[in-house]
Amino acid sequence: VAASTIALVLAASSFTGYARASTDTLRITAAANVTLRSSPTADAPAVAQLPLGTELADVGLPGLDKTWVRVKLGDAREGWLMTNLTRPLDAAWRWPTFDRIITERLGRKGDGFQASAELVAFIDRVTPEYTDPDGRARIEYSRLKAMAATLSAIPHGASRRAPYEAWLIAHKADVVLDDPGHRWMLSDSMIWERQARLSTTTSGEDIAWFAVTNGLAGECEGRLVCYLNARNRLHGEYLRRYPGGGHATEAIEVIRSTADLLAASSSAAKPAYVCDAKRDGRDVSTALDALTAAVTGTKAPNRDAALTSLAGLRKMCSN
């Protein structure tokens, strides 16, 4: 990937001024790294490379073949784009088009780093236009998913190379390095903070479950208390915030199966998970108390089975 990727992504905002001021029909690029060409043929010389979300003026004559569309950029350059790489943009009703583009891009499989990074940059640019609470929550949820896709597209061991290093530095407040997994991931505390701020919106629960599936950085190295704390920070936290949520049964099942696995291992001749009652007993009890309270607060059909499993695990490691 060329080192100019980050500059290309950031440059998109420079093309929006003309489109907003113009009375011409507006369009917006709906694909990453679109080539603006000097004539309507695939082998024509390139005029510019346009990031996702570049706003344009449609200056073509009406009634012509719309396989290609003639457009003008904010800096007055003109050229041709394949029409299917753009979307019409209503200057007075913009967010439905933004939503459509974001949904389409998030639904794609196999996009590389550049395409995913352009989606994050596009979302960041249009976020200020989402002023109602549900709209703001929806766009922030989309950003989390786009960020996760961008991080997963960074090759192993490439974080100190361009363009990955510059992107990670620019987003350092949102990401953490998972050393055992040799990968970058979203910070769980960042996700939960956003969820708390957006908890009353229609996307609040989606963001909470996203935090659960995002997971935690690091590994437990066989310590039972660490596994319990991890379940409490993820599935337990989801249940405390949404005891009647759509994923409550799933969260409780993960807690139950984890308790059963840990209990079975603790009683084995060579346990895979270690509980030092003198060292960990109090912390284990605290974690189990929190998980038990989270499960008790729900009405999920598997609640009692999970409570039984947690009670059984408590007997295996008590001080």
CA 230 – CA 207 distance, rounded (Å): 18
Q: pLDDT tens-digit profile of 112-150?
A: 999 999 999 999 999 999 999 999 999 999 999 999 999
- Those residues whose C-beta lies under 8 Å from the C-beta of residue 88, and which sit 6 or more positions away, are 25, 26, 27, 97
Angle between helical axes of 248-266 and 303-316 (0-180°, round to 10): 30
Average pLDDT of the segment spanning 86-95: 95
Q: pLDDT tens-digit profile of 223-257?
A: 888 999 999 999 999 999 999 999 999 999 999 99
Tokens found for residue 50: 């346009």
Ramachandran class of 83: left when φ > 0, alpha when ψ lies in -120 to 50, beta otherwise = alpha
Give residue 17's pLDDT: 44
Q: Are 205 and 242 in contact (CB under 8 A)?
A: yes
8-state DSSP, 73: -
Query: Amino acid identity, residue 198?
Result: L
8-state DSSP, 233: I
Beta strands in 23-144 (DSSP E): 25-29, 34-37, 46-50, 55-58, 68-72, 78-82, 86-89
Residue 43 has pLDDT above 80, yes or no: yes
Q: Is 166 helix (H, G, I), strand (E, B) or coil?
A: helix
Query: How far is CA 265 from each of CA 108, 193, 276, 280, rounded to the nearest angstrom?
Result: 41, 35, 14, 16
Query: How far is CA 295 from each of CA 61, 110, 311, 314, rounded to the nearest angstrom?
Result: 64, 37, 12, 15
Give residue 268's pLDDT: 59
CA 128 – CA 116 distance, rounded (Å): 20
CB atoms < 10 A from the CB of 16, how many? 18
Angle between helical axes of 277-296 and 248-266 (0-180°, round to 10): 160
Could you tell me the pLDDT band of residue 11, with boundaries at 50, 70 and 90?
very low
Ramachandran class of 76: left when φ > 0, alpha when ψ lies in -120 to 50, beta otherwise = left
CA 108 – CA 174 distance, rounded (Å): 23
Does residue 271 or residue 121 have the better pLDDT? 121
Q: Is 58 helix (H, G, I), strand (E, B) or coil?
A: strand
Does residue 199 or residue 281 have the better pLDDT? 199
Give residue 184's pLDDT: 96
CA 32 – CA 102 distance, rounded (Å): 12
Residue 56, CB half-sphere, CA atoms under 13 Å: how many?
Answer: 30
Could you tell me the pLDDT band of residue 1, with boundaries at 50, 70 and 90?
very low
Q: Is 131 helix (H, G, I), strand (E, B) or coil?
A: coil
Does residue 314 or residue 31 have the better pLDDT? 31
Q: Are strands 78-82 and 68-72 parallel, antiparallel or unpaired?
A: antiparallel
Burial class (CB in 10 A: 0-12, 13-18, 19+), 124: middle
Give residue 262's pLDDT: 87
Give the number of residues written for the chain.
Answer: 319
Does residue 203 or residue 315 have the better pLDDT? 203
Q: Is 43 helix (H, G, I), strand (E, B) or coil?
A: coil
